Amino acid sequence: MIKPHGADVLDPRFVDSDEERSALLSEAEFLPSMTLNSAAAANVVMLGAGYFTPLKGFMNLADAMSVATDMKTTDGLFWPVPVVNFTDDVNGLDVNRRIALRDPNVAGNPIMAVMDVESIEEVSDEQLATMTEKVFGTLDASHPGVAVFQNMGRYCVAGEIRVLSLSYFASEFGDTFKTAVEIRDEISERGWETVVAFQTRNPMHLAHEELCRMAQERLNADGIVVHMLLGRLKKGDIPASVRDACIRKMVDVYFPENTVMVNGYGFDMLYAGPREAVLHAVFRQNMGATHLIVGRDHAGVGDYYGPFDAQTIFDELPEGALEIKIFAGDHTAWSNKLNRVVMMGEVEDHAPEDFAVLSGTRLREMLAEGLAPPAEIVRPEVAQILMDYYQQEARQTAVGE
């Protein structure tokens, strides 16, 4: 099986021992504490679940700047995006002291982790701007990732952590949320060697389904892991529970048994385009995938990135930076001429009107009106789940008005 990134074995920061975890929780009740922002809490979950191996905690400012500018820590570890704990409130926090980290996304802000504070550093305007521009490629505050990153705080609190809770993900998404350890174990149990990961924050339409199938066939892969984001998205995105239901229905009906795993991970979407695509590759390698599908506008938003920037960035990585490989996908759509889904760049003698394409806006309008989209766009079983969701949303909006 493919090795984890930068390590021989995974290093999940979650404390497995019930006895040790209970002791740390008891200790944490009497420690100074800070309530994390959602992005930092998501980092705790990813560290706890082993996805961020070999990191042991939050980066200091020097590492965060080095990662942003050169995609490596100060000691040379390849890493594409700063993993930071920014805050505006450092009252009661001291270097070389253990603190409790509290969950902002669960009522009562329960303790998520304990942290041995190694540094507390003020982040200058220039440093914040540099990190933002390098990671997101823009300083435009209208970019949802930029807006979050620039408003998390001006102090960088760094240090190793021991994770005591994986937040609400295990309880709310018990059948779907899996740690990197659990996914790696299941891949091993299934006997899969070549494994394709598919990243999604949306329900899977027919084109997505066929892209997975193309990757599996062309790579002669043993299986596919559909790995959906379960954390915070931007306003208007479809809730994780609805996406989960759509994807499971598609897999149950249209894929052979024991060829697809449906799992999710607890992270907030960054919308960082190319840099986030590389981060996706890092933690998919950690969970045991040998290949990651990187399609058109992967992890993008609006018009901030070129359609294939998230693919070309992999050509620029240092030799040996990652063991995982990417499967580069073009825009996929139904060909009315060939009566099947194709990669649009691979077929000849096709004009735009020869493809079945529906804008996202029109698709949402149809679903809200209870009109089933064409089967060339969305599987009918998936369309029904989406229609039920959008019509419920429309009814709730009407009641609210």
Which residues are catalytic, by number? 201-202
HSE at residue 73, side-chain half, CA atoms within 13 A, is 15
- SS3 label, residue 94: coil
First-residue to last-residue Cα distance in the chain: 55
Structure tokens at 322: 């990652």
- What residue has token string 């409790």? 100
Q: Respond yes or no on whether the N-terminal peptide bond of residue 54 is cis (omega within 30° of 0).
A: yes
Question: Of the candidates 151, 154, 148, which has an alpha carbon nearest to the alpha carbon of residue 120?
Answer: 154
Whether omega before 352 lies within 30 degrees of 0, making that bond cis, reads no
Integer angstrom CA distances of residue 61 from 53, 120, 153? 19, 9, 13
Which of 81, 26, 91, 76 has its CA nearest to residue 299? 81
Strand intervals (E) in 268-318: 291-294
Distance of alpha carbon 362 from the chain centroid: 27
123, 155 Cβ separation under 8 angstroms: yes
Task: Tell me, rounded to whole angstroms, the distance of Cα 137 from its chain centroid.
Answer: 19
> Any alpha helices (H) in 5-83, and if so which ranges?
18-28, 38-48, 61-70
Q: Which two tokens stand for residue 206?
A: 């027919």
Residue type, 118: E
Within 10 A of 164 (CB to CB), how many other CB atoms are there?
Answer: 24
* CA separation for the pair 91, 141 (Å, rounded): 28
Per-residue burial over 386-399, b if 16 or more Cβ lie within 10 Å, else e, is bbebbeebeeeeee
Q: Which residue has the tokens 């521009």?
A: 133
